[in-house]
Chain A
C-alpha cells in the first residue's frame, strides 16, 4: 500500500522487518525483493507521487568546489527518485574497478565483480534491459557494422545497454501500491535515527512531513537509500547520540565524493575507407538498444597508471543537419514535454520546462527543423568524431560533502558539495586518449587530435550527476564507512544502499550497479533476519 503522512492517517508507530528510507531505484528494488521473500517492509519517501517544489527544495545546498555541478536540480525528491530524469545508459563495473591497485591509494572494493555478477543479471529486468551480456562478441553476429580492427589486448569495443529509461514511479508505483508486504509512506522525511540504549543499533527512525505530521518506525533492519549526497547528509545530521554523526568515527562520512567527469573533446579523423557505423549512433539488436564505444584493456590501464574510461564516438558532420549542438536545457525540456504529451500526460514541472523552451527558442527551433530534415535528407558521412565519456576519477578524500550552518525547514543542516577535479585525473584521461590515438595509428585507421591540454583546463569537465562514494565500502573501518554487506561498521543493523557505497566508480553509469547492490542487500537481509 501507499499512504501519505500529510493525510494524518498514519499511525504513530509503524513496524516491519526492514525499514527502507528512499524510493529511488535502490529503495524500490530493495523493497520489492524483500517483499518477494515474504518480509514486511516500511518504505519511506520524502516527496510525493510527483514533483513538488517544497520537497525538492529540501535538497538545496552550496557548491564550494568545482563549479560545473549541481546539488539540487540533478536529483529528484519524489517517488522513483532520480530515475525520473536519468538518461538510461547501463553497464556493469569492470573487474579492474573492484581490484585494489598499488599505484592508486584507496582503490578497490572488498568484493569483486564475480560477487556481483548474479545480481547484475537479476538487475537487468528491473531496468528493462536485455540479456546480461556486455561483451561485443555476443552481439557481433547481429551488429550493424564491424568493430574497428584494433589490437584487443590494447583497445577493444565495449557495449553499453540503453534503458528506455525506466522511470521507477511509472513502472513500479502501482506494484508497490498493490504489494501487501510493503507499507509505503509519502512525504515522510527522515529527521532522526535513534540508537538503542547501548548505542550499538538503531532502535527507531523518526520521520516527519513538512506540515508537522510525524511517525516512528521500528524494524529489525534499517536501510538508508537516499542517494550519494543525501545518504552522507543524513548520517552527518543524526548526531544526538554520536556527536560526529553516525558511522563517522573515522571522519569518513561525506569524504571520497566522486562523480564521472562528463567530457566531450578530442577529435578522431578516420580514414575514408573505415566503416564506423557501429559507433556513431545507437543500435537496436533484438529488443535491446545498444551503444558501442572504445575501452582500454585492463592490463594497459594498470600498467600505464590510467583511470578506467569508455569513449563513445560522437559524429561530426559538415552538413549541420546532422549535428547535435542544439541539445541544451531548452531542447531537453522540449523533448520531455513532447514525450509526455505523446503519452497523453501533462509533463511534470511543466512551467519550468516551458520556460526553458522559451529561453532557448532558437535552439529548439533549430533542433526541430533538423529532426524534420533528417527524415528526408540522406545522412552524410561524418567528417570526424569527438570522444564523449563519463570518465573515472581517482579516489580523493578531499572531495567531499559537508554540512553547512544553514538548515532546512525540518531542522537538517544543508550540504556543501566540494567536488574536486584534479589535474592528475584530467591528465590521465589525456593519456588515455593518446593511447587510443596511438592504437588507431598503429592499425592505420586514422589520427587523433587531443582536446585536453597540458596543463589541463578544468572547465571542460562537467558532472555526470552521478553522486558516489560518500559512505564508501571497505573491509577496514578506518578506510570505509560500510562493510561488504553495506552495513555501517559501527551500527549493527543500519545499512546503506545506493551509489554512496561505491568505493571506486569506474566509468559505468551507476544505476545498474545500484540496482544490483540493492538486490544483493535484499538477499542478505532476508537471509539474516531472524
Chain B
C-alpha cells in the first residue's frame, strides 16, 4: 500500500473542492439554460386546465412551499407508473399509466383533500407541476 504524502492529501482536497465548485457552478448556470423534456411535459398536459385544477395547483404549491417545480416533478418521477409515463411516447399509454398510478395511490391511502376535492397525491403533484411548469423557449 502506498504512503500518504502531503502532496497526495493536498491534491485530493483540491480535487474535491474543484469538483464541488464545478458541480455547483454548473447547477447554477444550468438554471438559465432552457431544455426540452418532451415526454415529461406531455405528462403534464394530461392534467385538465380549468379554474378548478389551477386553484388546486395553487393550493398544493402553497401547502408545499418552498418546494418548486423540480420537487413536484421529482415526486411524479418517483412513482413507478408516472415515472414510466414520463419516458413514454405513446399518449394513450401515458394517460393509462397516470390513471393507474392515481388508482394505486387511492388504494394505498395516498390521497389528499385539496379545496374539498379528494385527490390522489399524483394528481395533486401533477396540478402543481403544471402550474409551475417553466416556459419553454
Contacts and interface: CB of A to CB of B under 8 A. Distances in A.
Interface stretch (B14-22, B37-45, B58-66, B113-121): B113-121
A294 to B, nearest CB: 14
29 contacts: A434-B111, A434-B118, A437-B118, A438-B106, A438-B109, A439-B106, A441-B102, A441-B105, A441-B106, A441-B111, A441-B118, A441-B120, A442-B103, A442-B104, A442-B106, A442-B107, A444-B99, A444-B103, A447-B117, A447-B118, A447-B119, A448-B117, A448-B118, A449-B115, A449-B116, A449-B117, A450-B116, A450-B117, A453-B116
Interface residues of B, number: 17
Interface in B89-137: 99-100, 102-107, 109, 111, 113, 115-120
A451 interface: yes
B28 to A, nearest CB: 40
Interface in A432-488: 433-434, 437-439, 441-444, 447-451, 453
Interface residues of A, number: 15
Contacts of B109: 438
Contacts of B120: 441
A102 B18 CA distance: 65
B103 A438 contact: no
Interface of A: 433-434, 437-439, 441-444, 447-451, 453
B2 to A, nearest CB: 60
A375 to B, nearest CB: 35
A489 B117 CA distance: 50
Nearest to A430: B113
B113 A450 contact: yes
A438 B116 contact: no
B12 to A, nearest CB: 53
Given A441-B105, A450-B118, 9 more contacts: A434-B111, A439-B106, A441-B111, A444-B99, A447-B118, A447-B119, A449-B115, A450-B113, A450-B116
Contacts of B118: 433-434, 437-438, 441, 447-450
A438 B109 CA distance: 8
* 4 closest Cβ pairs, A-B complex: A437-B118, A441-B106, A442-B106, A442-B107
Interface string B70-99: 000000000000000000000000000001
Nearest to A453: B116
B117 A441 contact: no
A462 B84 CA distance: 49
A451 B105 CA distance: 22
Most buried by B among A439, A444, A453: A444
A23 to B, nearest CB: 47
A444 B81 CA distance: 15
Contacts of A449: 115-118
B83 to A, nearest CB: 19
A443 B100 CA distance: 9
A274 to B, nearest CB: 13
A439 to B, nearest CB: 7
B117 A438 contact: no
Given A438-B111, A441-B111, A444-B99, A451 B106 contact: no
Nearest to A269: B117
B97 to A, nearest CB: 12
Contact of A451 (B103, B104, B107, B116): B116
Contacts of A439: 106
Nearest to B100: A444
Given A441-B102, A442-B103, A442-B106, A434 B113 contact: yes
Contacts of B105: 441
A442 B103 CA distance: 4
A441 B103 contact: yes
Most buried by A among B99, B102, B117, B120: B117
A450 B117 CA distance: 6
Most buried by B among A437, A442, A451: A442
A441 B104 CA distance: 9
Nearest to A268: B118
Nearest to A435: B118
Contacts of B113: 434, 450
A517 B105 CA distance: 45
Contacts of B115: 449
A231 B94 CA distance: 64
A438 B117 CA distance: 10
B101 to A, nearest CB: 11
Nearest to B52: A449
Contacts of A444: 99-100, 102-103
Nearest to B105: A441
Nearest to A433: B118
A453 B117 CA distance: 11
B41 to A, nearest CB: 23
A453 B113 CA distance: 11
Contacts of B103: 441-444
